[in-house]
Amino acid sequence: MTNAAHTMFAADEASRALGIELVEASEGRAVATMTITREMVNGHDIAHGGYVFLLADTTFACACNTHGPVTVASGAEISFVAAGKLGDHLVATATERTRYGRNGIYDVTVHRETPDGPEVVAEFRGRSRVLSAKRD
C-alpha cells in the first residue's frame, strides 16, 4: 500500500542518491536501510555521523508523512551509541510516540545486523510540524 510518505520519498533525490531504500511506511511507522560506502567513512575510518543522521532523519520524515498532510522536522537530536563501519548495512526504524495539534514526536533506532543479532548504532528523536493539510 502506498501513502504520502512513499510519494515524498520518490521525490527525495538526496536520500535515494545515497542508496537509502524505503522498506516500509505505514501509519506513523517507517523502516529504511542504507549501506555504508567508502565515501561515507571519515578520517577515523568510521561512518561519518552526518550520514547516520541522514538515514534516521529520512526514516523519521517518512513516518511522520504517512498521515497525509505535508509534515517537516521542527527539531531533532541523535545519540551515537556505536561506530558504523564500512560495509555495514544499517536499518532505521521510526515509530510515532505522539501527535498533538500540528506537532508530533518520533523515535528512530538505527542498528546494524551482526551474526549475534542487531546492534544499535544510534538513537534519534525527531519533532515534527504539519505545514499544510494537503499536498500539491
Residue-level pLDDT, tens digit, the chain, 136 residues: 688 999 999 999 999 999 999 999 999 999 999 999 999 999 999 999 999 999 999 999 999 999 989 999 999 999 999 999 999 999 999 999 999 999 999 999 999 999 999 999 999 999 999 997 665 5
Strand boundaries in the chain, DSSP class E:
21-26, 29-35, 70-80, 89-100, 103-114, 117-132
Cβ atoms 36, 51 nearer than 8 A: yes
CA 79 to the chain's CA centroid: 14
Residues 6+ apart with CB under 8 A from 2: none
> In 3D, which of 88, 72, 78 has the Cα closest to residue 33?
88
